[in-house]
Chain A
Amino acid sequence: MEPTRRKFFQLGAGGVAATVLGFDVRKAYAQAQELKIARTTETRSLCPYCSVACGVIIHTLGDRAKNVTAQVVHVEGDPDHPTNRGTLCPKGSSLYQDILNDRRLLKPQVRRPGSDHWEDISWDQAIDEVARHIKKTRDETFVEKDAQGRTVNRLESIGFIGGCTDTNEFNYLAVKTMRSLGVCYLENQARV
């Protein structure tokens, strides 16, 4: 049988045990066969950091069971990927901590004018208020004609800035929506 990557890993683990421990490792070997990633779902992804775009495999458990939220248990370089060939740098190697991180923002919040603290806000209310801000500002400042009477249809009082990890598809939605509002200050990490 052609040894698979995972088999190789398992044999490697068993082999180390045999040489180092110097006793019957058959039970340990059997245990190694039950490595956590043996039961995981592998999802192909890309490292979100630099522009090499290394292929990564995200291992999750529990995602095939009903009413169970998938849990990430391991992230590793994708050995099939022609650019990184399974390798990851110190940043890519810690992606697991980027996914499971207790500093993640979990709920919408608002800082009211003049306030010194965050307050919780529901999604619906946050969306309503943001939309109201946009419409009010647009209606108050929209420039239909310039000084020479030429049609310009500009919204110069609202900016949109996009980040380096926004996907192409998200960015297109940003272009569509912001240009349609008339946004001129449409910028991105690509500039800086």
Chain B
Amino acid sequence: MTNGWIDIKNTDVMLIMGGNPAENHPCGFKWPIEAKRNRNAKMIVVDPRFTRTAATADLFCQIRAGADIAFLGGLIHYAIENNRIAKEYVANFTNAAFLVHDDFKLPEEDGVFSGFHADTQTYDKASWNYQGSGGPAAGLPENVTADEKLENPRSVFQLLKKHYSRYTPEVVEKITGIPKEQFLQAADMFTSIRKDGDTSKVGTVIYAVGWTQHTFGTQIIRTAAMLQLLLGNVGRAGGGVNALRGHSNIQGATDIAGIFDNLPGYLKVPTPADTDFKAWMTRITPTSAKPHEWESFNYWSNTPKFAVSLLKSMYGDAAKRENDWAFHYLPKVDRNYSWAYLFDGMYRGNVKGLLAFGMNAVAIGPDSQKNIDALKKADFLVVCEIYPDETSEFWKSPTVKPEELKDIKTEVYRLPGAGFAEKDGTFVNSARWLQWKWIAVPPPGSARLDQDILAQIFLKVRELYQKEGGKFPDPVVNLTWNYTTPKNPSLSEVAKELNGKAIADVEDKATNTTIKAGQQLPGFAFLRDDGSTSSGNWLWCGSWTEAGALMQRRDPADPSGLGIHPNWGWSWPMNRRVLYNRASCDVSGKPWDGSRKQVWWNEAQKRWVGNDVPDFKPDSAPKDHMGPFIMNPEGVGRLFVPLAGMADGPFPEHYEPIESPVTNLLHPKQANNPVVKKFSTASDKYGTKEQGFNVICTTYRLTEHYHYWTKNNPVNVQLVPEPFVEIPAELAGEMGIKGGDRVKVSSARAAYVAKAMVTHRIRPMTVNGEKVYQIGIPIHFGFRGIQEDAGRTERMLVNSLSPTVLDPNANTPEFKGFLVKVEKA
């Protein structure tokens, strides 16, 4: 989230789409309700199903799964056409005024942007750039040519306007299935905050994996971000672009980069072309690109300080200037090692071993059977779990025949880990708050703390390398492990390591402060690229300082009344609760709305001050025209993403899901995202309407269950004891299916059998003149659980239905919107 849960109470209008917080984030959903009750805020819910979130909305639009960009593009078109954009904000705080390269071409005719190579399904992005002068070769120009009147036909604004001029209410209706009148009602309601030039009101966008799990998921979110920039809603209390995130520490896992393409704090991993530390830094450290008379803080220019401090944290004295800060201890990554590729690689016999710590890969999918078949080929699997799960017991899957077992050579170790109440440490919630939790009880039986298990495995591997040698032992042998109890590291010690400390005395001239060697650093402004500081994650620097563990704070006070709660836990970056909050003020530094004052320019103090911590250079006067979006080299928000920023286009365009029952109305010959590649193992099958897969299927979660976990809890199992398939009453009527009948749902990959829940919550839709049905299936069941073990339910996984095909930017699979056929079972 750019903002936070409590901040939603400050909003005037909400667009909740691709998420169902009433059912999936029930206790956070009180804040949208609070906004409705106390501010008379309006709520628009757009979803394939009439959810409990929709039940509280002022307006509900049922959308065809996967048509989100068409809807949001239509909103952009409407806002521009009806003069409901924040002009001062757009001209000054976004790249609307920047002129774009003459060779850049919109996808209006053939569905592809300039530079597309059909043979490789990739783009040459040279034309996706600004006009201007200077800057590195093939990079952004240092001085960008701009037209602040936004009239030049090559300006981002005019190109954007032209691009979305095709997304008329009529086209929106044909693609999304939302009647034109209803769409116009939604468009009017959401953009009403900018009616008649009003800049005081604010709107928020709230979404979840209903957006991310598409082959154009990142672009859906970008469309929303662009809409919010055009309306001037980013940076403001009650505004922003707010990812609900699904799990307790998904945000933290993203920040710390438990993912292949990042290192902690969103540092991009080195590639083989980065032959030394300097080459790596040159590639990933941006130089500012802005109109000459503007300023850009370009905070990523500090990248070398973050990277050296990380390497010092990891390798201590073994990381020194002479060995390039141990740069070659890090693996160099130049291809896709993301989730689906991991199982693809294992299926192909290249990945021999897997360690899964609290991650039920078989149930999570996509294409569960492919993951099972992949695991059959592994040499070893290590699972740390608290319950028996489908991954550790993949070899007991109902799809594995008993006679097959002798040929499954995988050695599986199942190690009992600790539950949440047995561990301390921090989670990061979707509001970017780091919060500490304390240990209540020890793990049961001979179960152990997860860090104990991982540490013991690592220390044993290290011991083997020390005794026997082996391939490149240096990083294994030299990794810092200075914990008081090495075999069971204290998470407090790790948390302090993550914050970072001074290795030598560090002086900060700006604040006239010296941090003594050995002391915890007060914040990332103190990080250095000369080896005098260490920090495991620069973004969390400031969370555990000499003042103590700030993420353990429990002061519920909220002096401003804006839901900032500055002394509850700690929020990255530097306890700022709303990102980009400088944009909550106009160009002169005065809040757009005096009743929701977050930060402002204090002329007497020559500083930005306020109720929140300014997310900005604190002494940059408004007259200097520094952009509020300090993490972009432009300093401004990107309506147009230049160069390598996106895999599939500088502006989002509507493409159909890989499996779709309809053609792409905008460009029938380019139905899907042009850069999306299908997988090619024998397991990877994709269905079409012509093959009989004529119903759109989406998966979802229930309030009463949590993923594949609570099927082990008696209360939750009592609440919802078995799986079901939610089927529109009209479809059920056509097929003679009654509620409670068993139905078989098949995709090109597998079949799933469960009881039918006949519903009016999903209506048949008319998409471009054709009748389209959608069904929904909750994900929560499998082949191990209270009911499954007792033989009271089918032993099946919903994700055996879902396809392996990915969003090209985030590598997230397309779980939302694939094709199935429905039959009576």
Interface presence of B150 (CB below 8 A) = no
For A134, give its contact among B330, B461, B498 (CB under 8 Å). B461
Question: In the bound complex, do residue A60 and residue B441 qualify as a contact, i.e. CB atoms below 8 Å apart?
Answer: yes
Interface presence of B545 (CB below 8 A) = no
Within residues 70 to 122 of chain A, which ones have a CB less than 8 A from any CB in chain B?
Answer: 70-72, 75, 77, 80-85, 87-95, 97-99, 101, 103-116, 118, 121
A51-B248, A99-B441, A173-B455 given as contacts; is B703 within 8 A of A157 (CB)?
no
For A110, give its contact among B334, B412, B455 (CB under 8 Å). B412
> What residues on A are CB-neighbors of B644 within 8 Å?
none
Identify whether the interface residues of A are mostly helix, strand, loop, or mixed. mixed
Task: Of the listed stretches A1-9, A10-18, A23-31, A147-155, name the one at the interface; the rest are far from the partner chain.
Answer: A147-155
For B716, give its contact among A43, A77, A84, A94 (CB under 8 Å). A94
> What residues on B are CB-neighbors of A36 within 8 Å?
none
Question: In the bound complex, do residue B713 and residue A189 qualify as a contact, i.e. CB atoms below 8 Å apart?
Answer: no
Within residues 139 to 161 of chain A, which ones have a CB less than 8 A from any CB in chain B?
Answer: 139, 141-142, 144, 146, 148, 150-161
Interface presence of A22 (CB below 8 A) = no
> What residues on B are CB-neighbors of A158 within 8 Å?
351-355
Q: Mark A41-63, 1 if CB is under 8 A from B, else 0.
A: 00111111111111100101001
Alpha-carbon distance between A75 and B704 when the two chains are bound, in angstroms = 17
Question: In the bound complex, do residue A105 and residue B476 qualify as a contact, i.e. CB atoms below 8 Å apart?
Answer: no
Interface presence of A32 (CB below 8 A) = no
Question: In the bound complex, do residue A49 and residue B706 qualify as a contact, i.e. CB atoms below 8 Å apart?
Answer: yes
> Which of B249, B260, B408, B489 is most buried by chain A, counting CB atoms within 10 A of its CB?
B249
Chain A residue nearest in CB terms to B251: A51
Alpha-carbon distance between A85 and B29 when the two chains are bound, in angstroms = 12
Q: Mark B394-426, 1 if CB is under 8 A from A, else 0.
A: 010000001001111111111111011111111
Q: In angstroms, how far is the closest chain B Cβ from the Cβ of A154?
A: 5
For chains A and B in complex, what number of residue pairs have CB atoms within 8 angstroms?
Answer: 476
Alpha-carbon distance between A49 and B802 when the two chains are bound, in angstroms = 23
Alpha-carbon distance between A140 and B345 when the two chains are bound, in angstroms = 17
Interface presence of B442 (CB below 8 A) = yes
Q: In angstroms, how far is the closest chain A Cβ from the Cβ of B11?
A: 16
A47-B248, A53-B433, A104-B386 given as contacts; is B342 within 8 A of A159 (CB)?
yes
> What residues on A are CB-neighbors of B411 within 8 Å?
110-113, 129, 133
Interface presence of B27 (CB below 8 A) = yes
> What residues on B are CB-neighbors of A190 within 8 Å?
250-251, 253-254, 258-259
A153-B328, A180-B314 given as contacts; is B438 within 8 A of A43 (CB)?
yes
Interface presence of B338 (CB below 8 A) = yes
Question: In the bound complex, do residue B353 and residue A157 qualify as a contact, i.e. CB atoms below 8 Å apart?
Answer: yes
Question: In the bound complex, do residue B272 and residue A146 qualify as a contact, i.e. CB atoms below 8 Å apart?
Answer: yes
Interface presence of B636 (CB below 8 A) = no
Q: How many residues of B contact A (CB 8 A)?
A: 164
Question: In the bound complex, do residue B412 and residue A97 qualify as a contact, i.e. CB atoms below 8 Å apart?
Answer: no
For B425, give its contact among A89, A116, A170 (CB under 8 Å). A170
Within residues 120 to 142 of chain A, which ones have a CB less than 8 A from any CB in chain B?
Answer: 121, 123, 126-135, 137-139, 141-142
Question: In the bound complex, do residue B413 and residue A110 qualify as a contact, i.e. CB atoms below 8 Å apart?
Answer: yes
Q: In angstroms, how far is the closest chain A Cβ from the Cβ of B695?
A: 24
Alpha-carbon distance between A105 and B573 when the two chains are bound, in angstroms = 38
A135-B461, A164-B358, A184-B260 given as contacts; is B402 within 8 A of A90 (CB)?
no
Question: In the bound complex, do residue B445 and residue A107 qualify as a contact, i.e. CB atoms below 8 Å apart?
Answer: yes
Within residues 172 to 192 of chain A, which ones have a CB less than 8 A from any CB in chain B?
Answer: 172-177, 179-192
Interface presence of A168 (CB below 8 A) = yes
Question: In the bound complex, do residue B273 and residue A162 qualify as a contact, i.e. CB atoms below 8 Å apart?
Answer: no
Interface presence of B24 (CB below 8 A) = yes
For B385, give its contact among A46, A50, A105 (CB under 8 Å). A105
Q: In angstroms, how far is the closest chain A Cβ from the Cβ of B57?
A: 20
Question: In the bound complex, do residue A99 and residue B451 qualify as a contact, i.e. CB atoms below 8 Å apart?
Answer: no
Alpha-carbon distance between A192 and B385 when the two chains are bound, in angstroms = 19
Question: In the bound complex, do residue A153 and residue B330 qualify as a contact, i.e. CB atoms below 8 Å apart?
Answer: yes
> What residues on B are CB-neighbors of A85 within 8 Å?
30
A91-B710, A133-B380 given as contacts; is B249 within 8 A of A150 (CB)?
no
Q: Mark B454-486, 1 if CB is under 8 A from A, else 0.
A: 111110110111001011100110011000000
Question: In the bound complex, do residue B6 and residue A83 qualify as a contact, i.e. CB atoms below 8 Å apart?
Answer: yes
Nearest first, the 9 A-B pairs at minimum CB distance are A163-B358, A106-B445, A164-B247, A167-B425, A53-B429, A131-B460, A188-B258, A48-B420, A105-B416
- Name 6 interchain pairs, CB-CB below 8 A, sorted by A: A98-B420, A106-B444, A111-B411, A134-B461, A161-B342, A172-B537
Q: Which residues of A contact B (CB under 8 A)?
A: 43-55, 58, 60, 63, 69-72, 75, 77, 80-85, 87-95, 97-99, 101, 103-116, 118, 121, 123, 126-135, 137-139, 141-142, 144, 146, 148, 150-177, 179-192
